[in-house]
């Protein structure tokens, strides 16, 4: 799979924006991206989910960054929650299960369609959204 083929697939996704080539891989910032379709399309390309990261945004939303690799090519896709909700990619990529649960614990993101958003790492005495609490 060439870089231009990956870029073509990414650019055709619902909610896609421009794909940028950087030294550390491909990047796309697409706040309204259909993340489940993205996961399915990248899976069909043979891409592997490396991890998912999150950043709390000032307006109460969360930026979710999906990190994939395919043929030594890093693919990084930024999406954004709406009402701190985003579709779960776990039905398409089962390995996202624990990562989504961790983000749910720490940022209170509701991953719609996740099979089990039960507490994963947050101790019982701490409230939801630990990383959203005022400092």
pLDDT computed for residue 135 by the predictor: 45
The mean pLDDT of 22-39, rounded to a whole number, is 94
**Comparison of pLDDT for 90 and 119, the residue scoring more:** 90
| Residue with the two structure tokens 């379709």 | 37
- What's the mean pLDDT in 34-58? 95
Q: Residue 91: count other Cβ atoms within 10 Å of its Cβ.
A: 15
d(CA 35, CA 15): 9
Q: Which fold has domain 3-132?
A: Beta Polymerase; domain 2 (3.30.460)
pLDDT at 32 over 50: yes
Mean pLDDT of the 78-100 span = 96
């Amino acid at each position: 799979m060439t870089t231009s083929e990956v870029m073509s697939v990414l650019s055709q996704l619902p909610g896609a924006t421009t794909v940028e080539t950087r030294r550390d891989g491909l990047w796309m910032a697409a706040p309204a991206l259909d993340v489940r379709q993205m996961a399915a399309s990248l899976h069909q390309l043979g891409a592997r989910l490396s991890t998912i990261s999150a950043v709390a945004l000032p307006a109460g939303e969360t930026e979710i960054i999906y990190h994939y690799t395919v043929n030594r090519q890093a693919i990084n896709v930024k999406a954004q929650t709406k009402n701190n909700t985003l579709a779960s990619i776990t039905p398409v990529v089962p390995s996202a299960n624990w990562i989504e649960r961790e983000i749910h614990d720490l940022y209170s993101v509701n991953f719609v369609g996740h099979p089990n958003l039960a507490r994963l790492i947050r101790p019982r005495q701490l409230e939801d959204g630990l990383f959203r609490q005022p400092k």
